[in-house]
Amino acid sequence: MNAVTWMVVLLIAAKWIWQFWLERLNRKQVLAHAGRVPEVFKNFVDEPTYAKSVQYTLAQGRFQQVEITFEPVLLLIALLSGVLPLGMGWVSRHWGTTPWAMAGFLFVVGLAFSVLGLPLGWYHQFRLEERFGFNTTTQKLWWLDRVKALGLSIVLAYPLLALVLKWVEWTGSRWWLWAWATLLGFQLLMVVLAPVLILPLFNKFTPLPEGSLRERLLKLSGRTEFRARSIQIMDGSKRSRHSNAFFTGFGRFRKIVLFDTLIGQLAEPELEAVLAHEIGHFKKKHIPKMLVMAALGSLIGFYLIALLAQQEWFYRSFAFEAGSLVPALLLFGLLGGVLTFWLSPVAHWLSRRYEYEADAFAAEVMKEPVSLIGALRKLNEKNLSNLTPHPFYSGFYYSHPTLLERERALTGDEED
C-alpha cells in the first residue's frame, strides 16, 4: 500500500458512502409519504397500488444497498490481493504476450467480474421482481440470455480488444487515436447492424397488424416526416411486465418498436403520444448529440490510458511491471467508473433536458398534452415507479424527470 493505492481506496470508499447516504435519504423521503397517496396523485393512483409502489421502491433500495457494497468490496479484493498481476504473469508464461493472449487475459477478467455478479442479478429477477409480479421469464431463458451474451462478447468484444492492442505494434505512441477511431467505427456499425442481427437473437419482432393503431401511427410518422421501415411489436412480455417503446437503426434500417406490454397498457392516443415523444428525440437530434458526447468521452479515456501507460509509479502501485499497455487498460477499465460516477449528475441533467424537449415536441404534434400525460401516469402506475423520490437522489441518478416534473412542464405550471 502506497499513496496511490490509498487514494484509490479512499475514492472507492467515498463513492460507497455517497451512494449509501443517497439511498438512505431517498428511503426517508419515501417513508415520509408512505401513509397515504399524496393529493397530487390521487386522481390516477389508488391506495393499494401506491402502497405497493412504496414497498417496491423500498425493496429496490435494500437490494441496491447490497449491490453497492458488493461491487466495491470485489473491486478492492481484485486490486489489493495481487491476483491481477499474478494472472497476467501466468498468461504471459503459458500463452505469451501477443495481442490475442493479452486480450484473452482482459476478457477473462471482465468475464470473472460478470460471473461473480450473477447471483445478484438472479436474485433481482427471480426474487425481487417475482415478488412484485414483474418477472415473466423462466430459468432456462434467463440463463440462455447470458450464454448468448457471452457468445456475442467472444465474437465481437474479444477481437476488438486484440485489435486495440495490435494498434500499439502498428502505430506506436499514436495507438490511442487509432484505437479510438476503431471503437467509434465499431459503435456506429453496431447502431446499424444490431437491430438486424443482434436484437432478433433475444426477442421476436412481428409487424404491427393492420388496424386503427397501425394507421394512426403511420399517419403520425408521415406528418412528422419520420420515415421508418416498419412498426414492429417486441415480445418483451416473455421476460418482464415492464414496458417501453423505442426506435432503432438508421436510414432504411430504422424501425419503430413497441413492447407488447405497452400495447396492452395504453389507449391508442396514448401510444401515439409515446411514439411522438420518441420521434421528438430523433427530430431534436438527441441521438447524434449523445453519440458525439460519448465519442468525446472515449477519446479522452484513451488519451488518459496512453498517459497512464507511461507512468511507472502507476504500474508499481498495483504490483504490475511497466512496459505493457495491458495493465493500464485493465486498471482504467476497473477504476474509470469510480471517477465518472461523480460526473453522472451532469450527464443525467442533460438527459432530462432532452426528455423535456421530446415531451414538448410530442405535445405540439398531438396538439394537446393530455394524451402524453395519461400515458406517463399509466406507465408510472404499472411500473410501480417511485412517485416521491428525494430531489438529491433523482438529480443524481435519474435520466428522466419525475412524473410530477414532466406534468408541470407539459402544462406550464412550472418552468422545466
Q: Which of 71, 357, 359, 407 is catalytic?
A: 359
Three-class HEC string of the chain: CCHHHHHHHHHHHHHHHHHHHHHHHHHHHHHHCCCCCCHHHCCCCCHHHHHHHHHHHHHHHHHHHHHHHHHHHHHHHHHHCCHHHHHHHHHHHHHCCCHHHHHHHHHHHHHHHHHHCHHHHHHHHHHHHHHCCCECCCHHHHHHHHHHHHHHHHHHHHHHHHHHHHHHHHHHHHHHHHHHHHHHHHHHHHHHHHHHHHHHHHCCEEECCCCHHHHHHHHHHHHCCCCCCEEEEECHHHCECCCCEEEECCHHHCEEEEEHHHHHHCCHHHHHHHHHHHHHHHHCCHHHHHHHHHHHHHHHHHHHHHHHCCCHHHHHHCCCCCCCCHHHHHHHHHHHHHHHHHHHHHHHHHHHHHHHHHHHHHHHHHCCCHHHHHHHHHHHHHCCCCCCCCHHHHHHHCCCCCHHHHHHHHHCCCCC
End-to-end CA distance of the chain: 48
Any catalytic annotation for residue 278? yes
- Report d(CA 86, CA 341) in Å as an integer: 29
Q: Which of 23, 278, 405, 407 is catalytic?
A: 278
Any catalytic annotation for residue 359? yes
**387 close to 50: Cβ distance less than 8 angstroms:** yes
Active site residues: 278, 359
